[in-house]
Structure 1
Amino acid sequence: MKGLLATIVWLGLCLPSTFADPTWPASTDELEDFMFVTTGFGASGLASKVIPCSNPADGDPGRRTSAEWIRVAFHDMSTANIYAATTGSVYGGIDASLMYELNSGENIGAGFNTTLTTYGQFFSTRTSVADLIALGLSLATRSCGGPVVPMKTGRIDATAAGPIGVPQPQNSLFIFENQFLRMGFNTSEMIYLVACGHSVGGVHAGNFPTIVTAGTFANDYAPFDDTLDVFDDHIATQYLGGTTVDPLAQGPCVASTRCSDKTTFGGDNNATLATINTPTTFNSICGTMLQRMIEVVPPTVSLGSALAPYTVKPYSLQLTLLAGGTSISFTGNIRVRTTNGAVSGVKLTYLDRTGAAGDTITTTLAGTASGLDDTFSFYGFSATLDSTTSISSFTIQVTYTTGAVTTYDNNGVGYLVQDSVMLLAPQSCLDAATGNMTVVAAVRSTSATAPSLNLALKTARSAVPAPALASTSLAMTAGSTAGPYTLYSTSTTLTSYQLTNTQFNVTAGTAIDMFKTSSGLGTTCSPFGSSSSSSSTTSHASTSSVTSSTSTTSSQPTQTTPAIKPTISGYTYLGCYTEGTNVRALNSAAYYDYNTMTLEECAADCVGYTYWGVEYGGECYCGDSLGAGSVIAPAGDCSFICPGNNLEYCGAGNRLELYGPASSSSSSSTQSITSISVSTSKSSTLVTSTSTKPSTSTTSTSGSSTISSTSASATPTGPSQPANIGNWTFVGCQTEATNSRALTLASFAYDSMTLESCASNCTSVSATLFGTEYGRELTATWYVEAIHTNTAVLQID
């Protein structure tokens, strides 16, 4: 894939301080996440379908998800009629009416169903399918190296099929021109749109046998130009230069009179096409035209401003009443955009519920993420507040590595936190076997309104790929009191389809604890005041650090430390597997829950698939076969603790905790664990353990970390670990510390990361230890977390 062109950038990319963030929370927050946080910590998984541009659809090498997303947007838009007000017809445009039109002969191919099914997974009360169609085009275009296509929100989904009128390859120029005029585009704009839309992808022989002859192209997929997976001007330059391979401009389409690209390009004797035969002009014109295309909407729809990434944005904020009712836990993350400058620290300063000054809350780096044009760091926090004084708002102070300090106050109103009603996730639960969901909430006793549980329930539709969404409200029943709060509860039953995708709010008067998800609930409701592996969560990422103790094994011990689960829901543990070579090991479906992922949750998400696995703590993948290059790795590589169950492992960076049929189980040798003490500038805690996997590291307030080493008797496959890098000696694979980075002196991040370059960078700052972690999402091919030192050898997760 070609590098992304840098000539067109997001508004404010170079000067973010000149543009204010939206006032948080905004109705567009979910779509903002989808658009800008595409990979890494907190990523939703939507953009992963088109990153890289060459990602196959449904695992079929003859299909491209990126091309299908662009095609879906055009087909949904192309029945628009801007003259509808005077003719009495339906206006159309980007309205998701396409999901009711898949039996039409105008919409041929599996890509429509696949794409709309994908969008249905992300459809919610905050994200219409129509907005997802528009966003999908923007993501696909940019991922393929094309221009930024600004994304405005507010589209409304149609409730029925629209009129026919998608341009067909056999049409004459006269018909094409009139169809595009109906959409709002003149002849030149028609040519631009066709060229832009056909910059990636191609034509399938199975769908259009009179255009592409079966057996003449790999996978029966004829590309539009010689750069199948790159959004560039080759569709134009090759056509003008007489070297085109476009199946809609030459070949069998001539005899079948279906050369639609030749027909449209020649509409003005190639004059328009000749104006976009350079990379810069092609991207510039396509950015404008594709934006205009996705903004063809009915006049009753009012689109908002184009989305732009927040500079700072709260995530996962949650208040949870603690045992006795005298204290409240306040947890969450702060996302900071680091595109234009690295961050060294983030603090929160809050006001209590009376408006009086509270305390300062410190944060620690919880994870990093990337977008197609941006980078982000997430800073997690956990504080205990007095339930009487509590909290009402906070400001965020960001310290940059340059020494500059900026305080963000949410456009003068502060980042508001209501404490009148709060979900108690540890006391709430969802039984996947029966579908019974119990929700418990704490409501301030001064509230005049009893709370209600408001659910947004998805229902599968047999003839429509995206589900229906209906709202329902349930009264909650008062129970015991705890401090200044009264506990309320209610129960309902979800269908199997709704188990992992139901969103809900708890409301008491004007106070709302909103946008919770059923996948964030544990399987057991803990009595109020008891501990639980569940935690209060939202649909975004939360702090992922988990502390676990180590112990020696016995014949039948009570489990107190994480361990491999031999079987989960009828699936058998197969081992810790690498990702494939330039492909996902499992690519049929993906689900993300960085807050409360468990092995059981992933198994439930992947019912019906042959294999499933959990990666990076919160990413669940499903499939019926393993991608090429996915091989078994040492079991100790899968060392991330499941956020929803601290006794389970949920893979690691580019490592899958893989489950499948018993017959596919691969034997792997037991790995021994040996702890080795390392002398550093901070105290080191020595922990010994005998188990099949290494335990996670623990950190004291003085900065100590737990270090152990693993060795496997199995012959290693794939990348090897060098014993030395210059004067540095390999120490081992280590976890991050609890609530802090293991190494804090300096950090560097770039796409061409190697052990040698990291060693050089850390030598320049006089470090005594260096390590690489999680590679770089888009390009890293070696990703084992490693620590190197001049003095000793150690192994950590």
Structure 2
Amino acid sequence: MKLHFNTVLGCIVGFLSVGSAAPTWPAAIDELEDVMFLNTGYKSRGFSSHITPCSFSEFGPGRQTAAEWLRIGFHDMSTTNIFFEPHGGIDGSIAFELQNGENIGAGFETSLNTYSSFFNSRLSVSDMIALGVYASVRGCGGPVVPMRGGRVDATAAGPMGVPQPQNAQGIFVNQFARMGFNSVDMIQMTACGHTLGGVHAGNFPNIVTPGTAPDDYHLFDTTLEFDNNVAVQYVNGQTTNPLVVGPSVASTRNSDFVVFNTDKNVTIKTMTNAQTFQSVCSSILQRMIETVPPTVPLSDIIQPYEVKPAGLQLTLLSGGTQIQFSGDIRVRTTVRSASQIATVQLTYKDRTGGSACGSCSITTSVSGTANGFDDSFSFYSFSSNLPATSSISSFTVVITGTDGTTETYDNNASGFPIQDSVIALAPQSCLSNGNLTVFAAVHTSVTTPVSVSITQKVPRAAGTPVPALVSSSVAMIKRSTVGQYDIYSASYTISSATGTKYGVSSGSFTDDFKDATSLGSTCAPLGTAVPSSSSSSSSATSTSSSSSSTAESSSSTSSSLTSSSTSTSATSTPTLGVKPTIGAYTFQGCYTEGTGVRALSGASFYSYPDMTLEMCATNCAGFTYWGVEYGGECYCGNTLDATSTMAALNDCNFICPGNSYEYCGAGNRLELYKLTSAISSTSSISSSTKSSSSSTAPTSSSSSTSPTEPPTTSTSSSSVSSTEVSTSSSTSPSASPTLHIVPSAGPYKYLGCYTEGEGVRALGSASYPSDTQTIEACAAACAPYKYAGAEYGRECWCADSFGAGSVLVPDSDCSMTCAGSQYEYCGAGNRLTVYVMNGTDTTGPLSSTSRISNLSLGPSTFGLPKSSSTTRSTTSSSKTTSPTVGSSTATPSSSSTLTTSTKSSSSAVSTQTAAAIKQNIGDYTYYGCQTEGTGVRALSGAASFNYTSMTLEMCAESCAGYKYWGVEYGGECYCGNTFNTGSAAAPEGDKGCSFLCPGDKLEYCGAGNRLSAYVLNA
């Protein structure tokens, strides 16, 4: 019953920061404040019960929920890019990123499931993630991490970029710089984050050997609490931190050592002082959870109210002459104990702000106590019947001490506001068999339309643990008039009462945020008889029992009144997902580009600002196939090139710029559709989620259909026929699939089972881990590298040559099944299932000729044509057709077909000893250090990424044929024929491009928001 609460929720109301005034109620952060401070006792929210005691986990041995809450905070934040959109930060995007290979372990999903139970229209998941950091640190004996509210939840996955344990020191430094933190910050955040928890052998067996730690869970230090032992034991040489010592050293995953040693251990040594450690962690973790987009304003630091109303409710009583006012007053007793309080009293004003109510006083009684980590509270309940004619508009709270002194709390001189113009009538409302019926009393002076709003939690696609909030609004119908109030009602069918909130409103007046689960199954009538007494009561009274059941009901048929506004149904709200059909076309899967050629070469056009699937389908009308790539590129064709293969569905993860509910491929990945006339209905395609998928590809069509004369189409099919599937891969579906070595994947052929190198990676140029890993996905990710290898079920490694020490071992050594396919082998611990481009290898540790011969896997054995090209582009830059629609840029020449001969990072002159700007790279000349564009990429023609081995030569190779290219942030390569709006010479000059190339430390590869740019020689 809070006056103008909609307006309050629309902005961030000033909250108490250290040394500032007390907060003003109501505020947008009230729900968060309750969850934050009411841990146990009366009206407690129970948030901390999941992490109390600090060692506790409701999921059994080998888990520590507090550590998992701290970890999810870092992982959600760590994809931040302060230089470019999307900015990221603590935004809950991790809920959509659990399958990208960077967020390994069950703790992320279970944490989000816990947070989802608190999630509602007044409390975002991202605020819960930040609150989880506060709670885990404080609950484990750490410092108070100052907490603000107001974060805004993301609706889709953000970019990748969570630091991984195998990263090199320079990569860590660059990643934290992208987040907005320097090297000292990096060391502090790592130490503060790793004072809790440890490493699970099941998730990282190359860091913790299975069977060597209790419950296969190796702690970072010897205690479970938030203390500085992680620093003390490291500095004293007594550490057992698995990210410093043990198997992680040999597997080059000793990331804590790498991080701590960035400044020769100077920072970590200062953190051996316990007081310093606590102070530093409070500060750096506050900065971590306050990393949000600059457009998201956060509240002031949240402090508990000294006096706060709770659960206030007005209820029109039988006869309409009286209004019941009930609720609780929460009083903070941290400093002034409850034993020092004699009485708590409300003094109120009538509905016009006067004193027509007479004494205008309401007494209370103690109803319970509650506690937080650092505060205690007492609740004082009341229930009083007020004359409907005078009613109430605001109140103050007077606390009288046992010593006779009084304190008046007037909500910063504004009084605690109450509005009586629109009242949700809980006793008359009900929920039965999914039918929610809501009644409201609206003062006769109100002339604006009345509506009921319903907000439901709707499950998202499988794999996303956080539900969506879907809101609907239904017009209410006037039923009768009782005294000074008109009675309205409306009904609405809901899918589940759990998490459903409802409210009534008219104009600026609202009574909302009501819990549907609190309603009974029968709507009680609002009688005409006046209650026998209007005296106030000091006892807490449930609003569900406040009306008479003896009088005639004016709403006996209300439960059958269903709004005709069906367009507000929750099921009509679109969600991001695969679209199974677009017009006459049916979804085929996520496909790679061809090898040195376009997968679809009939026609193409580009629209990076507003591409949609429908737009591409319209422009490709008449072609057998079309696909959208890299968000804004549309390609058409009557045949699909044989070298294009199906990739994991998750690979196509770019959201269409013109429709945020559609996927538009990705770099080197096509969201592929085919005319339904060539498709039967024998096997359906699910559109519920971007799940992993088979690598089988449709046979290239031999149709001679003219682009202007489409073939006859079927309108009823939405699935792929099994007869349309090529048998070119050994993973083609069969009646009874069995576990096997995949003989080929796209242009790659099986080479053998190989060991890791001696102190180096066998294949160390690029890595693509995935919890949906398959041989086909790994092969697609490694193009155009010569070798691709799958290790330990979920890891994918690529290179053009083997690292020293890698040797051939029996095939049986590679015994682990792929994470994304139970029928394929993906290496094992220290073992890689290796594939070679086009099945020929005369330079590796052992020639593959005999192995391939013995397996009878010649280039044409499985229907794969022989190819004269051994490589292909890792991005969409190898354009071989001219843009036909919406393109103002010149087409790169066909020379953009790539080879691997220049991929080596040894391009530096042998006498060079320090990094320097390279004036010439092949046919390109240094252009300068350029900024990014304004809201757009400076170069938007194509892109490729390699944070582990990027060089200038590698980028030049990928961008062959384009006029310009540039490397940014060490590992990002962008191509284009023009610089887009806003891109300019860096104001600091060439010094702005200061990041060293990860593949050649003698070259510069841009920086955050800075490109080392090159231009094609005239």
**TM-score normalised to structure 2 length:** 0.49
Aligned twin of 1:388: 389
The counterpart of 2:277, out of the listed 282, 292, 303, is 282
Contact in 2 for aligned 1:213/1:252 (Cα 8 Å): yes
* Residue deviations 1:719-766 (CA, integer Å, cap 9, x gap): xxxxxxxxxxxxxxxxxxxxxxxxxxxxxxxxxxxxxxxxxxxxxxxx
Contact in 1 for aligned 2:327/2:540 (Cα 8 Å): yes
Q: CA deviation at 1:421?
A: 1.0
One-letter code aligned to 1:83: F
Contact in 2 for aligned 1:366/1:543 (Cα 8 Å): no
Q: Secondary structure at the match of 1:125?
A: coil
* Residue deviations 1:425-456 (CA, integer Å, cap 9, x gap): 1111112xx21111111111221123210111
- 1:287-306 matches, within 5 Å, as 287-306=282-301
* Residue deviations 1:687-734 (CA, integer Å, cap 9, x gap): xxxxxxxxxxxxxxxxxxxxxxxxxxxxxxxxxxxxxxxxxxxxxxxx
Aligned twin of 2:410: 409
2:309 matches 1:314 = yes
The counterpart of 1:181, out of the listed 172, 177, 183, is 177
- 1:217-616 matches, within 5 Å, as 217-228=213-224, 230-342=225-337, 343-357=341-355, 358=357, 359-431=360-432, 434-461=433-460, 462-495=462-495, 498-529=496-527
Q: CA RMSD in A?
A: 2.1
Of the structure 1 ranges 123-132 and 399-408, higher mean CA displacement relative to structure 2 is found in 399-408
Contact in 2 for aligned 1:441/1:487 (Cα 8 Å): yes
Contact in 2 for aligned 1:341/1:401 (Cα 8 Å): no
> If you compute each CA radius of gyration, which structure gives the higher value, 1 or 2?
2
Cα distance in 2, alignment partners of residues 503 and 205 from structure 1: 42
Q: CA deviation at 1:545?
A: 12
Q: Secondary structure at the match of 1:323?
A: coil
Contact in 1 for aligned 2:320/2:528 (Cα 8 Å): no
Cα distance in 2, alignment partners of residues 23 and 543 from structure 1: 27
Cα distance in 2, alignment partners of residues 296 and 502 from structure 1: 30
* Residue deviations 1:317-359 (CA, integer Å, cap 9, x gap): 1000111111111000000000001233210001111222232
Q: CA deviation at 1:400?
A: 3.1
- 1:549-698 matches, within 5 Å, as none
One-letter code aligned to 2:410: D
Cα distance in 1, alignment partners of residues 404 and 133 from structure 2: 39
| C-alpha distance 12-161 of structure 1, shift in aligned 2 (>3 A) | closer
One-letter code aligned to 1:491: S
* Residue deviations 1:617-674 (CA, integer Å, cap 9, x gap): xxxxxxxxxxxxxxxxxxxxxxxxxxxxxxxxxxxxxxxxxxxxxxxxxxxxxxxxxx
Contact in 1 for aligned 2:73/2:90 (Cα 8 Å): yes
The counterpart of 1:98, out of the listed 94, 98, 122, is 94
Cα distance in 1, alignment partners of residues 300 and 326 from structure 2: 31
Q: CA deviation at 1:287?
A: 0.1
Contact in 2 for aligned 1:316/1:542 (Cα 8 Å): no
One-letter code aligned to 1:223: L
2:140 matches 1:144 = yes
Q: CA deviation at 1:21?
A: 2.2
One-letter code aligned to 1:399: T
**How many matched pairs?**
515
Cα distance in 1, alignment partners of residues 94 and 397 from structure 2: 43
Of the structure 1 ranges 199-208 and 45-54, higher mean CA displacement relative to structure 2 is found in 45-54
Q: Which has the higher contact order (CA 8 A, sep 6+)?
A: 1
Structure 1, unmatched stretches of 5+, are 1-10, 532-540, 548-797
Aligned twin of 1:113: 109
| C-alpha distance 424-244 of structure 1, shift in aligned 2 (>3 A) | same
Contact in 2 for aligned 1:329/1:384 (Cα 8 Å): yes
Aligned twin of 1:75: 75
Contact in 2 for aligned 1:317/1:332 (Cα 8 Å): yes
Q: Secondary structure at the match of 1:437?
A: strand
One-letter code aligned to 2:506: A
Cα distance in 1, alignment partners of residues 342 and 21 from structure 2: 22
| C-alpha distance 403-545 of structure 1, shift in aligned 2 (>3 A) | farther
Contact in 2 for aligned 1:341/1:400 (Cα 8 Å): no
Q: CA deviation at 1:530?
A: 9.8
Contact in 1 for aligned 2:426/2:543 (Cα 8 Å): no
Cα distance in 1, alignment partners of residues 177 and 60 from structure 2: 36
Contact in 2 for aligned 1:366/1:545 (Cα 8 Å): no
One-letter code aligned to 1:270: N
Cα distance in 2, alignment partners of residues 378 and 134 from structure 1: 27
Q: CA deviation at 1:19?
A: 4.5
Cα distance in 2, alignment partners of residues 318 and 36 from structure 1: 22
Q: Secondary structure at the match of 2:308?
A: strand
Cα distance in 2, alignment partners of residues 244 and 319 from structure 1: 61
Cα distance in 1, alignment partners of residues 178 and 67 from structure 2: 24
| C-alpha distance 387-212 of structure 1, shift in aligned 2 (>3 A) | same
| C-alpha distance 516-466 of structure 1, shift in aligned 2 (>3 A) | same
* Residue deviations 1:156-183 (CA, integer Å, cap 9, x gap): 1112111111011111111111111111
Structure 2, unmatched stretches of 5+, are 1-14, 530-538, 546-1018
| C-alpha distance 410-12 of structure 1, shift in aligned 2 (>3 A) | closer
Cα distance in 2, alignment partners of residues 103 and 384 from structure 1: 56
Cα distance in 1, alignment partners of residues 454 and 543 from structure 2: 30
Cα distance in 2, alignment partners of residues 53 and 334 from structure 1: 31
Q: CA deviation at 1:420?
A: 0.7
Q: CA deviation at 1:28?
A: 0.7
Aligned twin of 2:909: none
Q: CA deviation at 1:45?
A: 2.1
| C-alpha distance 80-402 of structure 1, shift in aligned 2 (>3 A) | farther
One-letter code aligned to 2:397: I
Cα distance in 2, alignment partners of residues 530 and 374 from structure 1: 46
Cα distance in 1, alignment partners of residues 87 and 132 from structure 2: 22
- 1:145-160 matches, within 5 Å, as 145-160=141-156
Cα distance in 2, alignment partners of residues 322 and 147 from structure 1: 50
One-letter code aligned to 1:360: S
One-letter code aligned to 1:104: N
One-letter code aligned to 1:64: Q
Aligned twin of 1:787: none
| C-alpha distance 450-64 of structure 1, shift in aligned 2 (>3 A) | same
Contact in 2 for aligned 1:315/1:542 (Cα 8 Å): no
Cα distance in 1, alignment partners of residues 543 and 195 from structure 2: 44
Cα distance in 2, alignment partners of residues 194 and 52 from structure 1: 23
Aligned twin of 1:734: none
Contact in 2 for aligned 1:147/1:283 (Cα 8 Å): yes
One-letter code aligned to 1:235: V
Contact in 2 for aligned 1:333/1:543 (Cα 8 Å): no
Cα distance in 1, alignment partners of residues 131 and 103 from structure 2: 20
Q: CA deviation at 1:281?
A: 0.8
